[in-house]
Amino acid sequence: MVDGAHPSQPELYDLQHADAERGDVPFYVERAREADGPTLELACGTGRVHLELLRAGVDVDGVDVDPDSLDRLRAKARAAGLSPSVRESDMRDPTVDRTYGLVVCPFNAIQHATTLADLRATLAGAHGALSPGGRFVFDVFVPRFDVIRETYGEWREESVEYDGREYRVRSRTRVTDHAEQLFTVETELRTAAGETVRREAHEIAMLPRRLVRLLADGSPFASASVAGGFDGRPLGADDRTQVWTLEKAE
């Protein structure tokens, strides 16, 4: 049973990813500083990237489909003396009041679009939000068979602390549709006594380079390129992250 005494789902997300060192935050801050116009973040969530954009002085708006995550972002922003401009909206059709020099979708978030129709809509939505010459930048993981073979299906546990109490977080990733290349991430939050107080599951699509290339080539964007990490190197066979840049025609 979940109640207010235990971490909410957005709070649990922050606890799990508080120490995430992916190298993506400086990358997205730099892309935003280079952009010719304001930035829009799709699926801004609880603000892991968004708050750093604000701290860097970036003119940025954000959208997310989850109101609880946005409330968490706003609370963290208030505590830091920041004033976010975020709203509840779907990344497939973002509701915006202006156009942008840059649209970003960090940390595999576009993989929550699990159908081809949803992926095409997300690209079209980003394209529509951009000014001529603007860029859509996002990252997705490389579906590595060695990682799938060695880690998928196995429960992993870690300890987290919330409000002076210790919890155990169990999570596992498993392929749920081999034909469509979909997998599900399951998370359970347990008290020190072993009581399960939260259970979450969400489905994500695997996006190999060839599929993203086909989607980009069929989108309204004029060009697309991919790097093998946040340092800009070409995508290689051993890389774990794809960083895509899609550019709108002038």
| CATH code where residue 220 lies | 3.40.50.150
- % of the chain beyond a pLDDT of 90: 95
In a domain, 2, yes or no: no
Are residues 189 and 85 part of one domain?
no
Are residues 223 and 177 part of one domain?
no
Say what the pLDDT of residue 16 is: 86
In a domain, 107, yes or no: yes
Are residues 119 and 25 part of one domain?
yes
The CATH number of the domain holding residue 193 is 2.20.130
In a domain, 4, yes or no: no
Taking the model in full, what pTM does it have? Answer: 0.96
Average of per-residue pLDDT across 225-245: 97
Own/partner contacts of 143-149, CB < 8 Å, gap of 24 or more, are 143/181, 143/206, 143/207, 143/208, 144/240, 147/240, 148/175
Average of per-residue pLDDT across 120-133: 98
207 is written with which tokens?
A: 């996006």
Residue 1 has pLDDT above 90, yes or no: no
Which domain range does residue 189 map to? Answer: 145-205
Length reported for the chain: 250
In a domain, 26, yes or no: yes
Average of per-residue pLDDT across 192-201: 94
- The per-residue pLDDT for range 140-182, each reduced to its tens digit, is 999 999 999 999 999 999 999 999 999 999 999 999 999 999 9
Q: What HEC string does 100-120 produce?
A: EEEEEECCCHHHHCCCHHHHH
Are residues 104 and 186 part of one domain?
no
Are residues 122 and 17 part of one domain?
yes
Are residues 81 and 120 part of one domain?
yes
Say what the pLDDT of residue 17 is: 85
Are residues 19 and 99 part of one domain?
yes
